A = this chain, B = another copy of it.
Amino acid sequence: MTMEAERTLRADETTELGELAAQLRVDAIRCSTRAGSGHPTSSLSAADLLAVLVSRHLRYDWANPRDRANDHLIFSKGHASPLLYAVFKAVGVIDDEELVETYRRFGSRLQGHPTPALPWVDVATGALGQGLPVGVGIALAGRYLDRLPFHVWVLCGDSETAEGSVWEALDKAGHYGLGNLTAIVDVNRFGQRGPTELEWDLDTYRRRVEAFGCQALVVDGHDLAAVDEALGRARRATGPTVLLARTVKGKGVPEVENEPGWHGKPFKPDLAERAVEALGGVRRIRVAGPRPEPAPPPVTPAGAPPARPRYEVGARVATRNAYGDALRALGARPDVVALDGEVSDSTRADRFAEAYPDRFFEMFIAEQQLVAAAVGFQVRGYRPFASTFAAFFSRAYDFIRMAAISGADIALSGSHAGVEVGADGPSQMGLEDLAAMRAVHGSTVLYPSDAVSCAALVERMVDLAGVTYLRTTRGAYPVLYGDGEEFPVGGSKLLRGGDDDRVALIGAGVTVHNCLAAAERLADEGVRARVIDLYSVKPLDRQRLLDAVRVTGGRLVVVEDHYPEGGLGSAVLEALADLAEPVRVTHLAVRGLPTSGTASELMDQAGIGVAAIVAASRAALSGT
């Protein structure tokens, strides 16, 4: 089953690589034992693979991690961080003291799992099955946009191939012919709590990989020459390669080799000492791998400044349409890339795709890969916009969470929010997306009510840091704002209001329209109500709320097309949590499980329609 290697290594080269591999093992053991936690055995199995890769195949200028010509190295099995950091020592970018004395310590950049706190790390890993999908994004950028000969190398664990996201990634790698991508799977046959599902059944791995459109190379992961030959073939391949390396967990330390029960367990000092001695002791080998060919400077054609789409006040335009229009306008910037999960005719990303087909990437119905690819594109300096239904970003929530830890700058647009979706029913309705997206570290959450504000916010999104989420609405509603109006992130709009308002109606997105209609009705009854469009859900315009509290005596009615927990209502309450004066917030949200129906039937049923807002306002005024 194992490939016969062409013996390309000279004896002295093999010796050198063996010495380096021993150093990597020794250092992985030392740092994890010193830390008292970590995954030495998962590092030992892959040490030979990394010794060969770093010495002979990874083209990387370690002094210039931002060099566009550099290869990319991603540890999808992020728990093997002792090995990665041992590599960093071997190439000379960290010293032995930092490695051994700070690994996993408070304040150290050598965290338990790698993050971009280290300049040689593209993305945070540690949630398994994510490194390869991100690698696909980087390779897409390299092949289709950068057109540079860098290669993307991803070290995967065998356990993580149980994640469906790995197969989404291999499928896309094959579909897009990513010859610049190699996954190296460290098949050490053990997961955390015991044997993996396939153990050393390399043949099944091979058949799966090939069926998904990738070249499979099966090697003994401890045969340095075989690994060298396979990595060379992988680099020369015209399509993606998966190197299936049969390895031994704990390799090099006979007491733990191929033994269960050693996952995630550092060696006790006495075992570590014996192991280090048996491996030949501490070394100070410094390896200089191949360097990249110099890359030409990035081509940044002077695109026309984006022309924001224009809409007439009062015209009925769906905000998802405005998203498509604005994204297409942004396409004048050559760094803007769009991706979609096979629903671009619904999210309106197809308007970008028509204008800029070369910068549109179809991810089909694979939302995990959709978000991961966006993360990959931003690693290469692009500004990706990824779109699908609001509800279906829930499929990629772990990827979004990890994108935040990576400090990734990605823009997400979720269409078909709330019960406003109508006849399609609850499976298609984003009703927990505001809660989920607000809770992402450092995120920005935007929910415009009309086409003008939506287009303006999309224009802002392109330069925002971190994960940005835009929520758009399926149906068409009147344009509320005039051209040229500005919509800063963290701002809001007072659509209606005066100094004698007795209640404030606060909405975002579709409920802004309901609030406006309710304010009209209340005015007919002689009750003055202000209407606030909280289009920026995170960050929130606290000052606008404070003004409303002051004017109305603290009578706020917050209306959202979302479940009651964690959404707009919570955002308002969080912003006013420590206010001294009394605030009474009436919170209208979707409390039951929706069904099919028209948008207005469902909003009325949920108690977020006009009548409910009027009634809540009356009740707030009567103090009941």
Contact = CB atoms under 8 A, between A and B. Distances in A.
Interface of A: 35, 37-38, 78, 104-108, 111-113, 115, 117, 124-129, 159-160, 162-168, 171, 175, 191-193, 196-197, 204, 207-208, 210-213, 342-346, 350, 364-369, 391-392, 394-395, 397-398, 401-402, 404-405, 423-428, 431-432, 435-436, 438-442, 538, 562-567, 569-571, 573-574, 577-582, 584-587, 593, 595-598, 601-602, 605, 623
Contact of A346 (B127, B165, B192): B192
Contact of A126 (B204, B425, B569): B425
28 contacts: A37-B424, A106-B596, A106-B598, A106-B602, A111-B596, A112-B425, A112-B428, A115-B425, A127-B395, A162-B168, A164-B165, A164-B168, A164-B369, A167-B167, A171-B197, A175-B197, A196-B364, A367-B398, A394-B397, A394-B401, A395-B398, A397-B398, A435-B565, A436-B439, A440-B563, A565-B574, A578-B586, A580-B582
Contacts of A168: 162-164
B164 A397 contact: no
A37 B342 CA distance: 19
Contacts of A601: 106
Contact of A398 (B392, B435, B595): B392
Nearest to A213: B204
A432 B401 contact: yes
Given A127-B395, A171-B162, A427-B124, A574 B578 contact: no
Nearest to A117: B595
Contact of A438 (B405, B428, B435, B578): B435
A570 B578 contact: no
Nearest to A436: B436
Contacts of A405: 426-427, 593
A356 to B, nearest CB: 16
A529 to B, nearest CB: 17
Nearest to A597: B106
Given A364-B196, A435-B438, A566-B565, A104 B580 contact: no
A343 B162 CA distance: 13
Given A342-B191, A342-B192, A395-B127, A164 B162 contact: no
A570 B589 CA distance: 15
Nearest to A342: B191
A427 B207 contact: no
B197 A364 contact: yes
A435 B566 contact: yes
A352 B485 CA distance: 61
A602 B112 CA distance: 14
Given A106-B601, A366-B163, A426-B124, A571 B577 contact: no
A240 to B, nearest CB: 15
B113 A425 contact: yes
Contacts of A566: 435-436, 438-439, 565-566, 570
Contacts of A564: 574
Contacts of A424: 37, 112-113, 126
A68 to B, nearest CB: 27
B565 A570 contact: yes
A265 to B, nearest CB: 11
A164 to B, nearest CB: 2
Nearest to A400: B394
Q: Closest 6 A-B residue pairs measured CB to CB?
A: A164-B164, A126-B427, A106-B597, A566-B566, A432-B439, A435-B439
A117 B210 CA distance: 42
A402 B108 CA distance: 40
Contact of A570 (B124, B395, B440, B570): B570
Contacts of A129: 365
A193 B432 contact: no
A112 B175 CA distance: 32
B597 A105 contact: yes
Given A104-B596, A580-B582, A193 B345 contact: yes
B193 A350 contact: yes
Given A112-B596, A163-B366, A207-B207, 6 more contacts: A113-B428, A162-B171, A164-B164, A193-B342, A401-B432, A402-B427
A130 to B, nearest CB: 9
Given A342-B162, A585-B578, A436 B397 contact: yes
Contact of A423 (B37, B163, B571): B37
Contact of A397 (B395, B569, B596, B623): B395
A109 to B, nearest CB: 8
B162 A192 contact: no
A41 B595 CA distance: 23
